[in-house]
Amino acid sequence: MRRVTILGLFVLVALTWGTTWLAMRIAVETIPPIFATGMRFMFAAPFLISIAYLRKTPILFPPGQRLFQLGITVFYFTIPFALMIYGEIYVSSGLASIIFANMPLAVLIASVLFLNMKTNIVQVAGLTMAIVALAGILYEETNANINAGSHWQGIIALILAVIIHAIVYAQCKKRCCDVSVITFNALPCFLAALILSTLGWLFESPQISNFSECSVLATIYLGAFAGVFGILCYFALQQKASAFQASLVFLIFPLIAVSLESYIYGYAISAHSMLLVIPLASGIFIALASKTFSLGGRRLDSSS
């Protein structure tokens, strides 16, 4: 029964994260990226705060960690998620998901730099293999794109989002910031919604009459479903499975994202890039399998 539960949670998380990237692409078709991200969090926050109220879970971090909670609002929610959806203006959802699948490697590097975590030769080999493969994919996809300059803008935005998230994970572990998944997400999500919605309204001047039904539904999906259900499912998966088993979802959700984009939009990454996905996934697998480490514990919600 436990194995069935783990498998079910794994599939749910992979499907949720895999569809998140397509939803972001649909959202920015008619909604400016910063305002869309604010809407996303505005849809998620009431659910998270309601769950906190019903479960009598505090929404504030413990005393001494509340300034850090503000930092999480800015550097975990506000900036990286805005960068993610901005990146999807210029980068396909499939490629965006492949870039973000490297989160385990970014966390590994951040742990080495900020936590003095020891590595072994196998981890380094896996890390090197994955980075070289990712560089090859980015080079291949950029050459195939007629707007190479804009394409790199999107790639850099997504890579920055991964790096910032990884640093936050390392800082959470360094500060022993062990709060519930609801506490970690509820209030920062609401504050980020206010910040991004305000900035988007002031600087992007969104025309609500131009928002398509599909874009609005996509932001609702990102907030109310992926932003809440995805968090809770991944947290439950981490409680029932090993850290290594839970981390394998990073190898699966990009395949779902690429397949969906190909089916719906008729666009897929090149055949050469698909071949490079094999050493990329192998490198990530080797790095994770050689020494299991936590990818942010109960705080990880990706994607997404």
CA angle 280, 285, 286 (to 5 degrees): 100
pTM comes to 0.91
Look up residue 147 and give its amino acid: N
Dig out the tokens for 222 from the structure.
């990102």
The answer to whether 151 and 141 have CB atoms below 8 angstroms apart is: yes
- State the Cα–Cα distance between residues 27 and 35, nearest whole angstrom: 10
* Contact (CB, 8 A) for 96 and 137: no
- What six digits make up the tokens of 21? 């990237």
DSSP calls for 46-71: HHHHHHHHHTT--SSPPTTSHHHHHH
H or E, element range at 91: none
Structure tokens given for 66: 């509340």
pLDDT in tens, the chain (304 residues): 888 999 999 999 999 999 999 999 999 999 999 999 999 999 999 999 999 999 999 999 999 899 999 999 999 999 999 999 999 999 999 999 999 999 999 999 999 999 988 888 999 999 999 999 999 999 999 988 767 678 899 999 999 999 999 999 999 988 877 789 999 999 999 999 999 999 999 999 999 999 999 999 999 999 999 989 888 898 889 888 887 888 889 999 999 999 999 998 888 889 899 999 999 999 999 998 875 544 444 433 434 4
SS3 64: coil
If one counts every other C-beta atom within 10 angstroms of the C-beta of residue 233, the result is 23
Residue 54 burial (C-beta neighbours within 10 Å; 0-12, 13-18, 19+): exposed
- Of 220, 236, 255, 216, which Cα lies nearest the Cα of 301? 236
Rounded Cα distance between 284 and 125, Å, is 10
